Amino acid sequence: MRQRKDIVKPPVNPCFFKGEIQRWQFLGTATYVRGKYLFRFRVEFEDGSIVQKEKGGFCTKKECLDAKEVAISQMSNHQFVFFEVKVREFYDYWLYYYMIDQKQISYNTFFSYRNIIDKYIIPAYGNKKLMSLRRETLTELLVNMPSPSLYKLAASVIGSSYKCAKQMNLVHVNVGEKAIRQSRKILAQRAAGTPPIDCKRPVIDSFQIQKLLIECKMSEPDFFLPLSITLSTGCRVSELRALKFSSVDFRTGTLSITEQLGRPLITDGIAENQAYKQVLKPKTYHSIRKILLPQFVLDEIILAKKRRKTKVRGDLRTCDDGYIWAQENGDPHGRGDYKKPFARLKTKLGLDPNLHWHDLRHSFATVMTENNINPKELSQAMGHYESDFTQNVYVDSNQIINNGFQAYYRFLDDIVPKTEIVSDLNLDWLIEDVCGPFMNALRTGTK
């Protein structure tokens, strides 16, 4: 059994919890001290605390007074940076308090972000002031990430953390956002005409999807249901694990996604073998959605429900709250239970070995787009807030898609005479329920 990683929050600078400046008072005018000019002021924060501070080092009285006017303007516009914290201090707060307590990130996301911070950001800049980091510094960090996946993670950390820092008035300018844009340009130029490092993940086209479904039905029948749900809805693996028979409205043919299964960051009082089965809130508010299912997927769910009924020897309604993708004992499958059958299928079909399970979600979005699905409907089906995000991140506009039925029928004609097992499967079912409703769903979108 894998050792549980406990998360221990480090102590952080209390300044992060003071809130915004509510009131301020400047004390006197420019003061001459040890050959330089300075000005003093005190501020009251949202938590009621009052702190006094001075800004100095000005060579002339005019410079000092000009800086004072700038400070007054920044305070009036809620832009004044009062606390100049170190990078290490900020990321301890951002990861362990802001991202856990406010953003409620997942267990896996936490460790992915911590890896970027501990291995790349802190060793290079941990003791520097957050205010001192420039766009060029962060750009250099990003363009030198050792792999595309680490680049994407680092860009996520830099983008989210600097947005937080700007909101808290810990920096004057969100240089993180500018660094990400600049790094993309540099990497695109380096690639000399090839896609930049943040290119889309591998995706499979509609013809490959059809082959994958049929091969799975033949050689991995126990895996067919989770695969078909994923390919026809684009749901996340954490959402797939949480689906129950009660999530399906068989009258309308719709699937409701309202939660996900996973490991919470705080597991106090939870047995280790139960930690990964905890019901969690969806990733975002927009992740709560209803998706139209193809008929063949509905049929598979009904068959799974009947098999469960036979096992429990009870009324069909006793399974209403059972998990759709369940182990023999009725428990939900783990996150990694798809890996072995998925790897076997990729090998049999000669698919890209770098194709990950999450890339099926990208494939779903790409095929739907190529079949002229409304972008807003697609973003709703994916559980995204904006259609632009779906198009920019999930859709591969360069992917060659096989439209229509002809390529699929040619494929069936080629394999039927040669593959005995296909004839045993009820070929009419394959044509009617895999090709027809699935491709129809791809064309008509979701409701």
Q: Could you tell me the pLDDT band of residue 269, with boundaries at 50, 70 and 90?
A: confident
pLDDT at 402 over 50: no
Q: What pLDDT was estimated at residue 170?
A: 93
Would you place residue 87 in the very low, low, confident or very high pLDDT band (cuts 50, 70, 90)? very high
Q: Where in the chain is the domain with CATH 1.10.443.10?
A: 206-444
pLDDT band of 383, cuts 50, 70, 90: confident
Predicted confidence at residue 193, as pLDDT, reads 56
pLDDT of 437 higher than 70: no
Q: Considering only the top CATH level, what class is 206-444?
A: mainly alpha
pLDDT of residue 425: 37
Q: Which residue has the higher pLDDT, 181 or 446?
A: 181
Which of 339, 334, 287, 262 has its CA nearest to residue 107? Answer: 262
pLDDT digits (tens, 9 = 90+) for 334-352: 888 899 999 999 999 999 9
Outline which parts of the chain fall under CATH 1.10.150.
87-190
Confidence tier at 392 by pLDDT (50, 70, 90): low
pTM as predicted? 0.62
- Does residue 272 or residue 61 have the better pLDDT? 61
Q: What are the residues facing 21 on neighbouring strands?
A: 45
Asked if the model's pLDDT at residue 421 lies above 50, the reply is no
Output the average pLDDT for the chain.
80
391 pLDDT higher than 70? no
What pLDDT, on the 0 to 100 scale, is given for residue 406?
38
Is residue 258 scored above 80 in pLDDT?
Answer: yes
**Residue 413, pLDDT score:** 39
Poorest-pLDDT segment among 27-41, 271-285, 318-332: 318-332
What CATH number matches the domain at 87-190, 1.10.443, 2.60.120, 1.10.150, 3.40.50? Answer: 1.10.150
What confidence tens digit (pLDDT) does each residue in 278-291 have? 888 887 778 888 88
- Condensed to tens digits (0 to 9), the pLDDT of residues 118-159 reads 999 999 999 999 999 999 999 999 999 998 889 989 999 999
pLDDT band at 375 (very low <50, low <70, confident <90, very high): confident
261 vs 148: CA distance, rounded Å: 28
Percent of the chain clearing pLDDT 90 (strictly above): 37
